[in-house]
Amino acid sequence: MIGVALASALLVLMERRGVTELRHLLLPGFCAGLTTFSAVTAQALEPKEGGMLFLFHNVIFSLMIVVIVLPLARRVIPVRK
């Protein structure tokens, strides 16, 4: 969940600073590594551990974090002039 919040804040920061080229490197590279997509996928395939329920919760909580962090980041990070 930290990776999702960080990705949301980085997206706004790069948008406000006009640095859209780095977005394609930092967001999928660093943040995807931080969120460990492969671990989430592997855990989702474990039926004994409630895998699909875990995946559902992961997606819902990730979306909730984006809905919370994006507006906050847009208020806090000023637009570069």
- What phi and psi, each to the nearest 5 degrees, are found at residue 79? -75, 130
Whole-number pLDDT of residue 9: 83
Say if pTM beats, i.e. exceeds, 0.85. no
Residue 12, CA distances (Å) to 16, 36, 40, 44, 71 in order: 6, 22, 25, 30, 9
Whether residue 34 is predicted with pLDDT greater than 80 in this model: the reply is no
Whole-number pLDDT of residue 72: 92
Whether residue 69 is predicted with pLDDT greater than 80 in this model: the reply is yes
Where does the pLDDT of residue 43 fall: very low under 50, low under 70, confident under 90, or very high at 90 and above? confident
- What phi and psi, each to the nearest 5 degrees, are found at residue 69? -75, -40
User: Can you give the residue ranges of every domain in the chain?
Assistant: 2-76
